[in-house]
Amino acid sequence: MVFAADEGTIAATPMLRAARAKRRCLVIADGWFAWQAIEKRGGGKKRQPYWIHARGPIAFAGLIATHADDSVESFAIVTVPASGVALPIAAVMPAIVDERWLESPALVTVGLEGWRVDAVSTWVDDVAHDDAACIVPLGNPAQGELF
């Protein structure tokens, strides 16, 4: 099982506090999705998905924990308040870290300079869709952004 945990949840949950002390990991990714409620033409709202990404692999702060009731091992991705390019879209985002996270429970996040935010199709809203179509930007990118 994978879930997200903010600093308050980690502090309030014995299993996650213990994981932060001794079972930290890096969750390798190339970005994440966030949804924003936007007004529809003619009224109402829809949820627009966005792909927030860098130009290469990144690492999220992760915690590995084993649940005492059933011994199932799972991990949590640590979340922090959104910043940088993610701020207009999301309230929280994954904590993006480097290898120092493995050595110390101090959460030192990496900035989002040079990152992109692309609106993508609602194709991503279905868990059965696990393919490149999930990250294709809507519309045409500006000529200067092709490479």
pTM across the whole model: 0.85
- The whole-number pLDDT of residue 136 equals 95
Burial status of residue 131 (CB atoms within 10 A of its CB: 0-12, 13-18, 19 or more): exposed
Q: Which CATH architecture has domain 2-145?
A: Alpha-Beta Complex (3.90)
Mark out the alpha helices in the chain (DSSP H runs): 7-12, 14-22, 100-103
Tokens at 132, concatenated: 């490149």
Which residue shows structure tokens 């480097």? 98
Neighbours of 106 (CB within 10 A): 8
Which residues does residue 84 pair with via DSSP β-bridges, in sequence order? none
What is the rounded distance in angstroms from the CA atom of residue 37 to the CA atom of residue 44?
Answer: 10
Domain ranges for the chain: 2-145
Name the pLDDT band for 72 (thresholds 50, 70, 90): confident
Q: What is the pLDDT of residue 83?
A: 92
pLDDT in tens, 12-68: 988 889 999 999 999 999 999 999 988 888 888 889 999 999 888 999 999 998 877
CA 130 – CA 115 distance, rounded (Å)? 22
